Amino acid sequence: MNKWFVILFTLVALAMAGSAVAVVDNGKITLKAGDEVYVCGCGDGCPCGTISRREGNCSCDKPLVKGKVTKVTGAVAMIKFNGKEQPFKTSGIYQCACGSKCTCDTISQKTGKCGCGTELQKVK
């Protein structure tokens, strides 16, 4: 009896933890200071503004660069990469189309492919 209780409790805990992993919802990514993410490294003038939790290419087809979130204010995250800070919107016009099983959590302001290689979909 006790063994079954432990198994059931473990399954419930895993299910709850799995639902907490989905951090992109309706094109919005949840970030906090200290998070490491991959971002478009093109600079302030680039319109894609891609953010992902996985390595890959941004929607302008250049390699994403690793950065660290330094501050989040409203819908903007300051992300430091290559020795400089740059603001990124935390809500995108496009997001990864993989669904709830996705681990890349990619958002972008421009169409293209996400960090896991799937075509981005327009947020509805």
Q: Please, is 100 exposed, middle or buried when counting C-beta atoms within 10 Å of its C-beta (0-12, 13-18, 19+)?
A: exposed
pLDDT at 16: 44
Tokens of 119: 């075509």
pLDDT at 23: 57
pLDDT at 109: 95
Beta strands in the chain (DSSP E): 24-25, 28-29, 36-40, 51-52, 64-73, 76-81, 84-89, 94-95, 107-108, 121-122
What's the pTM value of the predicted model, to 2 decimals? 0.77
Give the span between the Cα atoms of 80 and 88, in whole angstroms: 10
pLDDT at 113: 84
* CA angle (61, 62, 68) in 5-degree steps: 125
pLDDT at 13: 47
Contact status, residue 58 vs residue 43, Cβ threshold 8 Å: no
Residue 37: name the closest of 86, 104, 97 by CA: 104
Residue type, position 96, single letter: C
Per the DSSP assignment, residues forming a β-bridge with 95 are 107, 121
pLDDT at 95: 93
Tokens of 59: 């929607």
Q: What is the pLDDT along the chain (124 residues), one digit of tens a residue?
A: 666 544 544 544 444 444 334 357 789 999 999 999 999 998 878 889 999 999 998 888 889 999 999 999 999 999 999 999 999 999 999 999 887 777 889 999 999 888 777 899 999 8
